[in-house]
Amino acid sequence: MADEVVLLDLYGSMFAMRVRIAFAEKDIKYDNREQDSVNKSQLLLEMNPVHKKIPVLLHNGKPVCESLIIVEYIDEVWNHNSPLLPSDPYHKAHARFWADFVDKKVNDPARRIWLKKGEELEIAKKEFIEALKLLERELGDKTYFGGDKFGFVDVALIPFYSWFETYETCGNFSIEEHCPTLITWGKKCMERESVHKSLADPKKICEIVFTVLRKKYGLE
């Protein structure tokens, strides 16, 4: 029986992009179902009753939620090619730590950059740059966070690259000025088909943020 693989997706979500990249790296065919984040579908609410959020992977009808957990699941199930996590337990733990760091220390300030104004915006920018600088230090002179191979931490962070233009516009700053090595890394990742196929267009994200989201939160 053929595998049924469905992704409950959202074009502009960096979390959903992680899953799209993982599927593309492994060359897995799947049914992509774009969701409405405002009028949530019955399927989404049923499959992720705890958080009611995308992405959700449905593998033969069984749901897997939370983007990094989904990426690990994909890596374990479709283990025939392109491993995303290292096989050595310590290197694996190290990769998990930095992917978790992106969720803990990059995501929240990044969100506040396009959501806030004034003093709160400045604080968000500062925290965001501090977190990126720590990641830059971790990257060092490696090509990818995974070393020579594109891996778990790269998958975790690269979707935020598609939002950089939005952050820079909202915050009136240049990320490259603070983190040039990270921008070089981003451009290198974008050369991979799995990445440039899966990332949302930065201009479209800017448009969504400025015409829909910021209005929704009373900022425009």
Partner 1 sequence: MAEVQVYGVWCSAFVRRVEMGLKMKRVEYEYIEEDLKNKSDLLLKYNPIYKKVPVMLHNRNVLVESLIILEYIDEVWEGPPILPKDPYERARARFLAKFIDDKLPSMWKACWSAGEEREKLIVETREALKILENELKGKKFFGGDSIGLVDITANFIAGWFLGLHESVGLQIMTQENFPNLMKWAEEYSGNSFIKENMPDKEKLVAHYKILKTGAQS
Query: Which residues of this protein are in contact with partner 1, per CB under 8 A?
Result: 50, 59, 62, 64-66, 69-70, 72-73, 76-77, 89-90, 92-93, 96-97, 100-101, 134
* CB of residue 98 to partner 1, shortest distance in Å: 10
* CB of residue 73 to partner 1, shortest distance in Å: 4
Token couple for 205: 């994200």
Q: Which is nearer to partner 1, 6 or 170 (CB)?
A: 6
* CB of residue 187 to partner 1, shortest distance in Å: 26
What DSSP assignment string belongs to 26-69?
Answer: TT---EEEE--SSS--HHHHHH-TTT--S-EEEETTEEEESHHH
* CB of residue 5 to partner 1, shortest distance in Å: 13
Q: Which is nearer to partner 1, 70 or 84 (CB)?
A: 70
In sequence order, the 6+-apart residues with CB closer than 8 A to the CB of 45 are 52
Token couple for 86: 């290292």
Q: Which is nearer to partner 1, 49 or 180 (CB)?
A: 49
* CB of residue 74 to partner 1, shortest distance in Å: 9
Token couple for 103: 């969720």
Q: Which is nearer to partner 1, 22 or 195 (CB)?
A: 22
CA distances from 125 to 74, 128, 175 (A): 33, 5, 10
Instruction: Name residue 136's amino acid.
Output: E
Q: Which is nearer to partner 1, 96 or 192 (CB)?
A: 96
Q: In angstroms, rounded to a whole number, what is the distance separating the alpha carbons of residues 51 and 58?
A: 15
Radius of gyration of the chain (CA): 17
* CB of residue 66 to partner 1, shortest distance in Å: 6
CA distances from 9 to 20, 56, 110, 190, 206 (A): 9, 7, 21, 21, 19
Q: Which is nearer to partner 1, 62 or 80 (CB)?
A: 62
